[in-house]
Amino acid sequence: MAVEKYDPQEDTLLVIRALPYPWVSKEALVRKAEQLKKKSAPQAEFMRLHSELIKVNDSLCYQVRKEYSGIDTTAWEPFCGVLDNFYFRSWYEYTLQVEEYNPHADTICVIKTIARYPKGQFMKIHSERIKVNDSLCYQVRKGFSRRDKTPWEPFCGKFSNLWCEEGYEYTLHVKEYNPHADTIFVIKTVASYEVPRVFMRVHKEGRNDTIRAIPVKRRKMKR
């Protein structure tokens, strides 16, 4: 209980209010709640997941390393177990928050995916092909933006994992941009744009090609 003055020699003690037992201050309760919250919360361990799998003893395994920063140069090590609560897509490098980083465990439980980074390079394909030494070749350039003014260059090889249609310009995510290679491997078609076709009028002898505009009366829309 809270008293006005504690003096065991006095005949009477003035009680201000009765306190619950055991008495705990508000600050102590807040500290206790924070401790319990930290204890129950998952530990913040981070790991990096490589974009390509490797083969270890006839098994396809992940390449992992314990880190958070992309600048870290820690060596990659194989993890041949299972990543729980995670969907892996090849050609993407991931940063994951996990319960515990242990590449020798059977399972690593993923709390959440922090970020993913596409590996490879981006390129564009022109809507029209050109003829080079009696061969019909693509026009390509390295880059992503449509505003890029990098000059087009011929690519006379073939694309793996791509179907394209004439009259469309494509943006591709590829393993490596090399216009001198025999084959360029396409990871994903990012976008395709139909190039507007230009039509023209052919003038014939004795024909008036002047186009006159005829006024058209518009009906008033009822509100």
Which residues are 49's β-sheet partners? 64, 94
Upper half-sphere CA count for residue 15 (Cβ side, 13 Å): 4
pLDDT band at 190 (very low <50, low <70, confident <90, very high): confident
| Contact by Cβ (8 Å): 79, 49 | no
Task: Give me the mean pLDDT over the 131-148 stretch.
Answer: 88
pLDDT at 19: 55
Cis peptide before 196 (omega within 30 of 0): no
pLDDT at 207: 57
pLDDT at 213: 54
- Percent composition of the chain: helix, strand, coil (DSSP 3-state, to 5): 5, 40, 55
| 68-111 pLDDT, tens digit each | 665 667 889 999 999 999 999 878 899 999 999 999 999 999 99
The dihedral over CA atoms of 74, 62, 90, 92, expressed in degrees to the nearest 10, equals -20
pLDDT at 178: 95
Higher pLDDT, 145 or 95: 95
pLDDT band at 203 (very low <50, low <70, confident <90, very high): low
| Contact by Cβ (8 Å): 170, 194 | no
Percent of the chain with pLDDT over 90: 43
Closest residue by Cα to residue 171 from 129, 122, 211, 210: 122
Which residues are 100's β-sheet partners? none
Per-residue pLDDT for 211 more than 60? no
| 109-119 pLDDT, tens digit each | 999 999 888 88
Using CA atoms, how far apart are residues 59 and 104, in angstroms rounded to an integer?
14
Cα–Cα distances in Å, from 220 out to 112, 214, 217, 223? 59, 19, 9, 9
Angle at 208 between CA 202 and CA 209, to 5 degrees: 40
Which amino acid would we find at residue 101?
A: Y
pLDDT at 4: 64
| 18-77 pLDDT, tens digit each | 655 555 566 777 777 777 766 655 567 899 999 889 999 989 999 999 976 656 678 899
Using CA atoms, how far apart are residues 108 and 49, in angstroms rounded to an integer?
12
Per-residue pLDDT for 135 more than 60? yes
Task: Give me the mean pLDDT over the 188-212 stretch.
Answer: 71
